[in-house]
Amino acid sequence: MTRIGFIGGTGPEGRGLAYRFALAGHEVVIGSRTPERGREAAKEVADRAGSASVTGGENAVAARQAELMVLTVPFAAQADTLPPLREVCQGKIVVSTAVPMQFEGGRPSMPVVPEGSAAEQAQALLPGALVVGAFQNLGAAKLWKGDEPLDQDVVVCGGDEEAKRQVSALAEQIRGVRAVDGGPLSSARYVEGITVLLVGINKRYKALAGVRIAGL
């Protein structure tokens, strides 16, 4: 059992992942800018998962209590949210799930990120952390829908092999998920781009499609 802290965990992706990890038996701490919102989201997840091991509070509380952190704050808020957490993140695994995305004429596109990707920006903002990119392609709606197998792959990218191993093992505790080693953290930019592609595909087909890599 791992104590997992969610930074910006009150949105759909944060609640969905928190729900799945609570189902898997982990302790979950949901962080937010305000303690009230963190506690409200934690109650919602705990009620749905039937688990008493879900608590909530401010982002700093979630980061301090966590053994492993998951960043589910929107990319646009990342540059303001992460610097105050730099010290408490030292030496910890921090999972980046964010995807830089903008809409032009109703179509999704990916803006230029100076660091290369959301994950690489997170590493630059948290230099002492072991940042791993993962879960970017898992849709929040399917995560929250119920304990149904997802039949999807999670591509895991990072510079520390042990950190990638731990995040891969965590990913595979979600029913129907297989973890795939995507290489260094710089590869996260391609994984994040797949999400932008999926948003467009799902909009056109009115679907909840995900990623499955054939031939492995």
The 10s digit of each residue's pLDDT in 84-120 is 999 999 999 999 999 999 988 888 988 999 999 999 9
Q: Which two tokens stand for residue 108?
A: 């999704």
Q: What is the pLDDT of residue 109?
A: 86
Every domain of the chain and the residues it spans: 3-205
What is the chain's percent helix, strand, coil content, to nearest 5? 40, 20, 35
CA atoms within 13 A on the CB side of 38: 24
**Alpha-carbon separation of residue 56 from 7, 13, 40 (angstroms):** 10, 16, 7
Q: What is the pLDDT of residue 104?
A: 85
Residue range 18-26: mean pLDDT, rounded: 96
Report the CATH number of the 3-205 domain: 3.40.50.720
Q: What is the pLDDT of residue 146?
A: 84
